[in-house]
Structure 1
C-alpha cells in the first residue's frame, strides 16, 4: 500500500525549514530583489554555518541511513521537503546560501571518495551551458586536453548559477568531439586558477539576488586528478553511453530538487492570493461542488490540485533516488510538471489579484518573475518532455531528437 504521508522526522525537518523561511528569508525577499549583483547577503551566513554543522553531524534530521533492506527516506527526499519550504521564503536567497551549489551535487554523484573529501566542502557551481550548446548537453564544445599530468581547458560557459560567488566550478568539457557523448567529462576547477576568467554577471528578470555568470577558460590548467569519474572515453557506443550516463546522473538527483523550488514559489503565491481574496470576502467553500462554485473559487481549486499533483510526483522521484531505483523518467516528469505548474499558478495569482498582484505592494509579481526560470534551467520544459517520451517509447536519443 502506498503511503503519501511524510515520516515524523521529515515533518519535523519541514517545520524547522518553514520557520527559517518565515523568520530569515521572507522578510528580506524584496530587499535583495532590488539589489542586484550584491555580495553574498550577510543574513545568509548563519544559514551556511547551520548547514555546515548539520553536514558534519551526518546530514539533516531524518536524512540518514535506514536498516539494510528497509525503505529509505534519505537525503533526496529531505532535500525536496526543505527546498519547498525555503523557496516559499525566497528561491533566489536559497540559491545564494554559501556552501552548496549544483557542482556539489555532481561531486556527490560521480566523484571518488578522495574527491568528495577534498572538494565536497567547497561551494561548487556547475558550468554546462555554452553560447552554442544550451539544452543539448551533448553538444558541449569546451575542450579538455591532457598535457602530461595536467588537463588544459579551453572554451566559454554562460548562465552559470553561482559562478561569481563560488569557490570552485565543475566544468563540462569534451576529450574528443569525434567520439560524441562518451567523451564528455566533468572537471573541478578551483576559483583563482590561471586561465579561468569571470566575463560578466547577468542582469535577470527573476532570481535577481542569485548571481548568474559567464566564464571563460583559456589554456586553464588543472591537475589530472581534478577529473570526476573514469578517464577512459571507451571505444564502443555502449561504453560511451555508459560514461555519459554517469555524468548525466547528477540530474536524476537535482531535477526533483529544482521541481521543489517551483512547489515553494507556487505555494507562496497561492497562499498570498487566498489571503487577499479572503480580505475581499472571497473564500473557497469546499462543501460545494465545482459546478456550484464561483469562477474564482474554481481557479483556486484547479491550482491547488495542480500543486498537489506536482508535489507527489516530486516526492516519488526523490524517494526512488533514495532507494537506488532508476528515476530518470520520474525526475524529468516532476521537473516538467512542477516547472509548468509554477509559471501557470504564479501568473494566474497575479491576474486574480489585479492591481495588487501586479504592483510591488505584495510579492506576487516577484514570485511570477522568479518562477519562470525554474521551468528553464536544469533542462527546459521541452527537453524534459523529450526525455519522458524516449523512456515511454523505448527510443534512444539518437532515434528521437
Structure 2
C-alpha cells in the first residue's frame, strides 16, 4: 500500500499550493473583515481553473467529484481519478483560505452535486454554471430526510414552495441545487434535487447571514413561492423508487463529504504548519524523543499531528473508493466526522499553544480557528455522521436507529 500522493497529481498539488500561498493568503484578512463583499480577485483564478479543466479527465475542483466513469471494480484496475484529485486540490487551497475556496465561481457544493447525479445532457447544459447547494431548512438541520420544501409536477414544470437557509454562495451563484420532496407521504424516497437558476420567478434571496467564520463566502436564506422550474432541471431519475429510498439523492454526499473533510484537513494543516514555525523559535522539536521526555506543549503538538494524519488518510480513502466505484457512504461519513472534529481541535489548540500571539489578528491562527468550526457542521454534523456510521456497522435502518 502506497500512502504517498500519486505522482500524476504532483503538479496539481504544487499548483494549488502556490495559489493558496500567493493568491489566497495575501487577501485572506481583507475579506474576513469585509463580510458580504465579493472577492473580485477570484474571477481570474476561476477562469484559469476552467481552462485547466477543459477536456481533462483529472480535473481540479468540485466538478470532478463523481463516480461517473470510475472503474467498475478494483479487479479491473485501480484508479486514482477525479475524486482524489479534487480532494487533494481542496486540501491545498484550504491551506490558504476556506472562505475564499467556498466563494470560488463554479467550485461550489452544488457543482459537486451536479457532477454526482446529473445525466449526460444535464452535465453538458450546466457545465459552465456556478451552483450553490440548498438543503437546510428552518427546523430541519442535519436531518435531510425531514425536508418540507415541496415540488409539485405541473405539465413540463415543477412548482417549488418552501424556504432554505444557510445556502453557501446562495446570492452570488448562477443557480441553486434545491432539495425538495415530490410526496411528503412517501418520506425519504420522494426527495429529489432541482437546479433553480437565479432570476426564476418565485425565487427570492431573503437574508444574508453574519457568521463566525468563512466570511469571504456569502451565506443566504432563500424562499420559493410557486417557483416554476423546468422538469428537465430535476437531477437524475425523476421516478420515485421506494425500494431505493433516500439512496439516490444521498449519493451526492458520498462525493461531497470527502471534499468537506478535505477542507478541514487543509485548514488544520495551515494551523499546524504555522504553529510549528512559531514554536521552533523557542525550542527545537525532536521527534525521536518519547512523549514522556518532552514538554507538555511539544507532546500536544505531536499528538495533534498524529490525529491530523489519521484524518487525512481516512479522507483520501473515501475519495479513492469513489474513484473506484466502491460503496463509500460509511467511509465518507467516517472521514467527515474525523476531519471535522480534528480540524476544530487542532486550530483551537494551536491558538492556545502560541499564547497571545495566536489570539491576535497579527496572525491568521485565530481566523483559522473560526473558519474551522463550520467544517464540523455543514454537510451533516458530527453527530449525524456518527449516527450514519453506526447504522452502517450495525445494519440498522434510519427508523431502527435514531
TM class by shorter chain equals over 0.9
- Aligned to 2:164, what secondary structure does the other structure show? strand
Q: Distance in 1 between matches of 2:194 and 2:239?
A: 14
2:259 corresponds to: 257
Q: Distance in 2 between matches of 1:173 and 1:92?
A: 27
How many residues are matched?
393
Cα shift readout 1:264-288 (whole Å, capped 9, x = no counterpart)? 1111111111111122x22321121
Q: Distance in 2 between matches of 1:61 and 1:249?
A: 20
Q: Distance in 1 between matches of 2:261 and 2:284?
A: 28
Give the Å deviation of 1:61: 6.6
Give the Å deviation of 1:126: 0.9
Match of residue 248, structure 1, among 242, 247, 250: 250
Q: Distance in 1 between matches of 2:180 and 2:197?
A: 15
Q: Which stretch shows the higher mean deviation, 10-19 or 80-89?
A: 10-19
Q: Distance in 2 between matches of 1:87 and 1:128?
A: 23
- After TM superposition, the score normalised by the length of structure 1 is 0.95
- Aligned to 1:214, what secondary structure does the other structure show? strand
Q: Distance in 2 between matches of 1:284 and 1:370?
A: 27
What residue ranges of structure 2 are gaps of 5+ in the alignment? none
Q: Distance in 2 between matches of 1:130 and 1:79?
A: 28
Give the Å deviation of 1:119: 1.2
Give the Å deviation of 1:129: 0.4
2:13 corresponds to: 14
- After TM superposition, the score normalised by the length of structure 2 is 0.95
Contact 2:177–2:194 under 8 Å retained in 1: yes
Contact 1:283–1:297 under 8 Å retained in 2: no
Contact 1:108–1:120 under 8 Å retained in 2: no
Contact 2:71–2:323 under 8 Å retained in 1: no
Match of residue 243, structure 2, among 216, 238, 263: 238
Give the direction of change, closer, same or farther, for the CA distance of 1:61–1:198 in structure 2 (3 Å limit): closer
Give the Å deviation of 1:353: 1.0
Cα shift readout 1:88-144 (whole Å, capped 9, x = no counterpart)? 000100111111211111211111111111013200111110002111101000011
Q: Distance in 2 between matches of 1:375 and 1:197?
A: 28
Q: Distance in 2 between matches of 1:325 and 1:382?
A: 24
Contact 2:138–2:164 under 8 Å retained in 1: yes
1:186 corresponds to: 193
Contact 1:174–1:184 under 8 Å retained in 2: yes
Give the Å deviation of 1:388: 0.4
Match of residue 51, structure 2, among 33, 50, 53: 53
User: Does the alignment pair 1:118 with 2:118?
Assistant: no
Give the direction of change, closer, same or farther, for the CA distance of 1:96–1:38 in structure 2 (3 Å limit): same
1:329 corresponds to: 330
Contact 2:391–2:398 under 8 Å retained in 1: yes
Cα shift readout 1:60-92 (whole Å, capped 9, x = no counterpart)? 479897998221110110011111110000010
Contact 2:71–2:324 under 8 Å retained in 1: no
Give the Å deviation of 1:364: 0.7
Give the Å deviation of 1:156: 0.3
Q: Distance in 1 between matches of 2:127 and 2:298?
A: 48
After the TM superposition, which segments of 4 or more aligned residues of structure 1 sit over 4 Å from their partners? 59-68
Contact 1:183–1:233 under 8 Å retained in 2: yes
Contact 1:198–1:214 under 8 Å retained in 2: yes
User: Does the alignment pair 1:74 with 2:81?
Assistant: yes
Cα shift readout 1:136-171 (whole Å, capped 9, x = no counterpart)? 101000011111221110000000011011001111
